[in-house]
Copies of this chain bind each other. A is one copy, B any other.
């Protein structure tokens, strides 16, 4: 039946059912210690009045909120949204809600969100951000945190689930080399997360291992905070116009790779004939692009799963391994045929 104004409280349920508030609590939480008849009476009142427990009160009392905070760079990116979707699903299965925060790679926003989450007394935080540079001894509120995909430089003992970016960078670069590329550009962000830096290291290692020089002129940096394919397209167009020569491109992610594909197309450069391209993430963009994009596949579902499991362990007071590296694999498509 109807009830329109402020939701009723447990106390009111108790009064309506003619029992004490403690009994209502017992019934609701199935703790036993009440007769079948009482149970029915209480549940009837609850149903008829549309009683819904006040979690704010419960949270205060129990000192836990059954809420997880999730800081993410930009939910609009396919990789992060997949991570977020899976994490949200996993937490929901365990009875947790998730607060989502897009820090858009902005350190200030990240830190602000972190404080907000702690203030809201979330039970744990999944952090996909390398920007939360709170001081070591100032980790506030000692909330359990798990980093996923990336982490700050000095975050000593905070567990993390990362992908094997270094290997990914090597795989991509070697693949290009094996297909005859000798001047391979690396498209990346200007101030990129540690995960991306590692892809760059893998790239350099592969070059060196094959006797190729690391040419700083082939490092193409995007300045935007958030990865948009238009920026990549424009930046690469400029590079092409400036006369830089290359026969391969390794992009730090698929969004950038797709922007590159478009710039190459604009310039009449054929892929894969003239230039071969490899992306990263094997996101939907890689399958959709023409030519279909070779990409280093990651496993966001698995990473999310591991991150959630780790965080839940932490919440329950257990230890977890500090570093959990999820493998990557190269997916070959037309862009490097």
Residues of A within 8 A of B (CB): 1-7, 50, 52-57, 59-60, 63, 65, 67, 74-76, 78, 81-82, 84-85, 88-89, 92, 97-102, 113, 115-121, 137-142, 229, 258, 262, 284-285, 287-290
Establish whether residues B76 and A85, one from each chain, have CB atoms under 8 Å apart when the complex forms: yes
Residue in B59, B139, B141, B288 whose beta carbon sits within 8 Å of that of A288 in the complex: B288
Whether A100 contacts B102 in the complex (CB less than 8 A), given A81-B75, A290-B289, comes out as no
Establish whether residues A140 and B7, one from each chain, have CB atoms under 8 Å apart when the complex forms: yes
Chain B neighbourhood of A4, CB < 8 A: 139, 142
How many copies, total? 2
Offer 18 A-B interface pairs, CB within 8 angstroms, sorted by A.
A7-B118, A50-B138, A50-B140, A54-B60, A54-B119, A54-B121, A55-B119, A55-B121, A56-B59, A56-B65, A56-B121, A74-B85, A76-B78, A88-B100, A88-B102, A100-B100, A229-B284, A289-B290
Chain B neighbourhood of A119, CB < 8 A: 52-55
Whole-angstrom CA separation of A74 from B7 in the bound complex: 30
Known: A54-B119, A55-B121, A99-B100; 5 extra A-B contacts, CB below 8 A, are: A52-B118, A67-B120, A97-B116, A258-B288, A284-B285
Chain B neighbourhood of A284, CB < 8 A: 229, 285
Chain B neighbourhood of A2, CB < 8 A: 137-138
Establish whether residues B78 and A82, one from each chain, have CB atoms under 8 Å apart when the complex forms: no
Identity of the chain B residue whose Cβ is nearest the Cβ of A115 in the assembled complex = B52
Chain B neighbourhood of A1, CB < 8 A: 137-138
A139, A141, A287 — which one has the most chain B CB atoms within 10 A of its CB? A141
Establish whether residues A100 and B120, one from each chain, have CB atoms under 8 Å apart when the complex forms: no
Q: Across chains A and B, which 8 residue pairs bring their CB atoms closest together, nearest first?
A: A290-B290, A100-B100, A56-B59, A2-B137, A56-B60, A7-B141, A55-B120, A76-B81
Chain B neighbourhood of A59, CB < 8 A: 56
Chain B neighbourhood of A99, CB < 8 A: 67, 97-100
Chain B neighbourhood of A54, CB < 8 A: 60, 119, 121
Chain B neighbourhood of A285, CB < 8 A: 284, 288
